[in-house]
C-alpha cells in the first residue's frame, strides 16, 4: 500500500514538475521571442528604412493626379517642341554646309559624328542610365536618390521623379536587362522611323506617360510602393516598333528556335500586364508597362502625324519668324 501511495505521489510530483517546467519554458521562450522581434524591428528601422522615412508620407489624395497629368502634358510638349526646333536648326545647318562647302575640302568629323547618330543615341541612353546607377552606389546620396529618382504616390516629391525615375536603376540586373532590350530596338527606331531628335522626345514623353499610369494605379489602390526603371519608355519603343513592323520575327533570349511575330508579342505583353494588374502580381510595375505600350501604339497610329507633323509645322512657322 505504501509503495503504491509513494508511486502515486511520485507520479503527481513528476506531473506537477513537468507542468511547472513547461510553463516556465513557454513563458521564457515567448519572452525571448518577443525581445528578439523587438530587437529585429529596431535594427530594420535603423538600417533599412532610415533614409526612406525622411521622404515617405501617407498616400496622397487622388486629386493630386491632376498635378501629374499637368506635368506629363507640359514635359511632353516641351520635349517635342525642343526636338522640333533642334531638328529644324540641324536641317538649316546641313543645307548651308551643302551649298557653301560643296567645293571645299571637308574637315574631318569628330569621333561621335563618325559613328553616326544612331549609335550616338544608343550610347547616350546607356551612358545616362549607367551614370544614374552609379549615383545609387554613393551612400551619401541615398536620401536624395530615394526622393528624386523613385516614382511614388507617397513621396514628398511627386512630379520630378516621373521623369528622373525613367533613367534610374538601383539593381545591376535590372539595368542590364533594360539596356539589352534598348540596344535591340532603339537603333531600329532611330534609323528607320524617328531619327535622333524625335526619338528623344518620344522616349521622354513615353516614359513620363508610363509614370503617370503607374501613379494612377497607386492612387486608386492606395499603394505606397516606389518604382523606378526605364521599362515603361522602353516598352513604348518596343510597342512602336511592333506596330510599324508587325510581321517582324522576334525571339526570347536563351530560348532558341521559338519565334513569333512582333504583333503577337505586343498583344501577349499587354495581356500579361493586364493579368498582372487583375491578379496583383508584384514582380513588375504592370501599370507602367501598360502605359508605355499604350503610348507606343498611340504614337505609331495617330500621334506621330498630329504631334511631329502638324504640330511641327506650327512650331516651324513661329520659329522662322524669330530665328535669324
Write out the E strands in the chain. 249-252, 255-261
Catalytic residue among 196, 231, 286, 300: 231
Q: What one-character-per-residue DSSP string does 72-130 give?
A: HHHHHHHHHHHHHHHHHHHHHHHHHHHHHSTTSPPPPPPHHHHT-HHHHHHHHHHHHHH
Euclidean distance between CA atoms 99 and 102, whole angstroms: 6
Residue 231, C-alpha cell as written in the block: 521599362
CA 131 to chain centre: 15
Contact 130, 175 (CB under 8 A): yes
Euclidean distance between CA atoms 321 and 324, whole angstroms: 8
What is each CA distance from 134 to 51, 131, 175, 229, 239, in whole angstroms?
18, 5, 11, 14, 29
Euclidean distance between CA atoms 111 and 114, whole angstroms: 5
Residue 255's φ and ψ, nearest 5 degrees, are: -125, 80
Residue 186, C-alpha cell as written in the block: 532603339
231 given a catalytic annotation: yes
**Catalytic residue list:** 231, 289
Amino acid at each position: 500500500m505504501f509503495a503504491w501511495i509513494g508511486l502515486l505521489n511520485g507520479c503527481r510530483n513528476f506531473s506537477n514538475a513537468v507542468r511547472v517546467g513547461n510553463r516556465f519554458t513557454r513563458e521564457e521562450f515567448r519572452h525571448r521571442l518577443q525581445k528578439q522581434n523587438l530587437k529585429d524591428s529596431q535594427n530594420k528601422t535603423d538600417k533599412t528604412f532610415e533614409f526612406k522615412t525622411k521622404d515617405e508620407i501617407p498616400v496622397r489624395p487622388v486629386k493630386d493626379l491632376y498635378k501629374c497629368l499637368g506635368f506629363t502634358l507640359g514635359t511632353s510638349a516641351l520635349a517635342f517642341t525642343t526636338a522640333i526646333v533642334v531638328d529644324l536648326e540641324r536641317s538649316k545647318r546641313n543645307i548651308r554646309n551643302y551649298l557653301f562647302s560643296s567645293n571645299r575640302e571637308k574637315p574631318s568629323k569628330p569621333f561621335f559624328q563618325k559613328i553616326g547618330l544612331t549609335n550616338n543615341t544608343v550610347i547616350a541612353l546607356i551612358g545616362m542610365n549607367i551614370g544614374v546607377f552609379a549615383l545609387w552606389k554613393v551612400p551619401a546620396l541615398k536620401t536624395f536618390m530615394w526622393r528624386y529618382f523613385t516614382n511614388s504616390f507617397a513621396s514628398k516629391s511627386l512630379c520630378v521623379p516621373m521623369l528622373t525615375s525613367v533613367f534610374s536603376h538601383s539593381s545591376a540586373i535590372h539595368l542590364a536587362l533594360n539596356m539589352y532590350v534598348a540596344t535591340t530596338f532603339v537603333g531600329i527606331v532611330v534609323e528607320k522611323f524617328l531619327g535622333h531628335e524625335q526619338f528623344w522626345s518620344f522616349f521622354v514623353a513615353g516614359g513620363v506617360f508610363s509614370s503617370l499610369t503607374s501613379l494612377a494605379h497607386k492612387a486608386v489602390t492606395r499603394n505606397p510602393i516606389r518604382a523606378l526603371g526605364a521599362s515603361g519608355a522602353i516598352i513604348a519603343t518596343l510597342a512602336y516598333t511592333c506596330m510599324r513592323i508587325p510581321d517582324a520575327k522576334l525571339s526570347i533570349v536563351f530560348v532558341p528556335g521559338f519565334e513569333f511575330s512582333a504583333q503577337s508579342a505586343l498583344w501577349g505583353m499587354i495581356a500579361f500586364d493586364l493579368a498582372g494588374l487583375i491578379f496583383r502580381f508584384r514582380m513588375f510595375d504592370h501599370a507602367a508597362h501598360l502605359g508605355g505600350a499604350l503610348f507606343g501604339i498611340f504614337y505609331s497610329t495617330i500621334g506621330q502625324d498630329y504631334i511631329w507633323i502638324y504640330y511641327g509645322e506650327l512650331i516651324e512657322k513661329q520659329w522662322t519668324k524669330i530665328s535669324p
